[in-house]
Chains A and B, each alone.
Chain A
Amino acid sequence: DSGVTQTPKHLITATGQRVTLRCSPRSGDLSVYWYQQSLDQGLQFLIQYYNGEERAKGNILERFSAQQFPDLHSELNLSSLELGDSALYFCASSPDRGNQPQHFGDGTRLSIL
Chain B
Amino acid sequence: GQNIDQPTEMTATEGAIVQINCTYQTSGFNGLFWYQQHAGEAPTFLSYNVLDGLEEKGRFSSFLSRSKGYSYLLLKELQMKDSASYLCAVRDQLASNYQLIWGAGTKLIIKP
Contact = CB atoms under 8 A, between A and B. Distances in A.
Interface of A: 2, 41-43, 45, 48, 50, 55-58, 88, 90, 97-99, 101-107, 109
A2 B36 CA distance: 13
Mostly, the B contact residues are mixed
Interface in B14-51: 31, 33, 40-45, 48
A42 B37 CA distance: 11
Interface stretch (B55-63, B65-73, B75-83, B101-109): B101-109
B110 interface: no
Contact of A55 (B41, B43, B97): B97
Contacts of A50: 97
Interface residues of B, number: 21
B98 A57 contact: no
Contact of A103 (B45, B104, B105): B45
Nearest to B96: A56
Given A55-B97, A90-B42, A101 B104 contact: no
